[in-house]
């Protein structure tokens, strides 16, 4: 066996989806084995209704005979044979993340705290806001902070500036941490399945603005929060993570908002973790999440 050309400790993660057929797992495992790879984790799912196959597999490159830089080229013929949508990610390559925020700080604080503890394999490269309120928090964490006001009639220019900052910083993923602006289709199409939002409702119920008031006026017994990928349809993107909490008739609107904040923080954090660990495959309007 040829000695590995890769630094020790490097792992690869393959996310793949394709039409289902017999032998897919065996063929992919064989590809890894024949080149000296050691599978560390493998999870697969078949949508029996749509006859579609989904897989996440990670393997060590310590004894792999192909350099990491050539891995995608080597796997491409097999993926083409399967008519697959696929992506290979390597450990040690941290996603560069931009956080968009308005005036609510709870989600941003949660992400920055967890990041400071090393929970996310990411680099938070910049924070963008349409208000200046979060500047001291960003400065405390040593993260560049940019204020880009969004005013009526100037939204396109604001988005042009935002995109310019993200491209200059090489941003992979954008997190909307209670960013109270709707992104244009032109913006969202630049980052497919790479913009993560937190919606303060258990979607698909109570879409749009002020969902806690909607829930309170409807007299619901459960409130929730939903993190999803952003598409050009408002609050209709593929759902990544959700959670709920029970409430009663004694809870006021203010109680719902207060209790909902905890859900929002946790749900958005979990969604970002799943995304950056490469555990999500988008399947149309749905997601397949590998635990």
Spacing of C-alpha 67 from chain mean position: 27
Residue written as token pair 């609050």:
235
Contacts of 23 (CB under 8 A, 6+ apart): none
Q: Which has more confidence, 185 or 219?
A: 185
The dihedral region occupied by 181, where left means phi > 0, alpha psi between -120 and 50, and beta the remainder, is beta
What 3-state class would DSSP assign to 199?
A: strand
H or E segment and range at residue 96: strand 95-101
Q: Read off the tokens for 61.
A: 């490159």
6 with 74: CB under 8 angstroms? no
Q: Read off the tokens for 235.
A: 């609050």
Confidence of residue 1 (pLDDT cuts 50, 70, 90): very low
pTM for this entry? 0.91
pLDDT tens figures, 226-256: 999 999 988 889 999 999 999 899 999 899 8
The mean per-residue pLDDT over the stretch 208-219 comes to 79
- What pLDDT is recorded for position 3? 55
Share of the chain above pLDDT 90, in %: 81
- Annotated catalytic sites, by residue? 235
With a cut of 90, say whether residue 33 has pLDDT above it.
yes
pLDDT tens figures, 102-127: 999 999 999 999 999 999 999 999 99
The mean per-residue pLDDT over the stretch 183-195 comes to 96
Domains of the chain: residue spans and CATH: 11-90 (3.30.70.260), 95-289 (3.40.50.170)
């Amino acid at each position: 066996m040829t000695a590995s050309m890769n630094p020790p400790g490097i792992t690869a993660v393959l996310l793949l989806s394709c039409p289902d057929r017999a032998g897919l797992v065996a063929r992919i495992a064989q590809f890894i084995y024949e080149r000296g790879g050691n599978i560390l984790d493998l999870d697969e799912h078949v949508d029996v209704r749509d006859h579609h196959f989904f897989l996440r597999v990670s393997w060590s490159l310590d004894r792999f005979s192909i350099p990491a830089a050539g891995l995608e080229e080597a796997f491409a013929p097999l993926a083409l044979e399967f008519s697959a949508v696929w992506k290979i990610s390597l450990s040690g390559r941290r996603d560069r993340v931009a956080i968009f925020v308005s005036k609510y700080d709870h989600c941003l604080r949660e992400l920055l705290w967890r990041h400071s503890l090393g929970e996310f394999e990411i680099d938070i490269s910049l924070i963008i806001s349409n208000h200046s309120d979060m500047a001291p928090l960003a400065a405390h964490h040593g993260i560049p902070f940019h204020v880009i006001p969004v005013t009526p009639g100037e939204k396109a220019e604001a988005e042009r500036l935002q995109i310019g900052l993200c491209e200059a910083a090489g941003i992979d993923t954008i997190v909307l941490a209670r960013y109270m602006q709707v992104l244009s289709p032109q913006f969202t199409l630049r980052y497919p399945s790479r913009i993560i939002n937190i919606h303060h409702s258990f979607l698909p119920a109570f879409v749009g603005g002020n969902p806690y008031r909607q829930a309170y006026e409807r007299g619901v017994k459960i409130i929730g929060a939903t993190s999803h990928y952003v598409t050009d349809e408002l609050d209709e993107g593929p759902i990544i993570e959700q959670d709920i909490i029970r409430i009663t008739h004694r809870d006021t609107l203010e109680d719902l908002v207060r209790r909902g904040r905890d859900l929002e923080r946790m749900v958005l954090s979990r969604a970002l973790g799943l995304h950056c660990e490469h555990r999500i495959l988008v399947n149309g309007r749905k997601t397949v999440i590998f635990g």
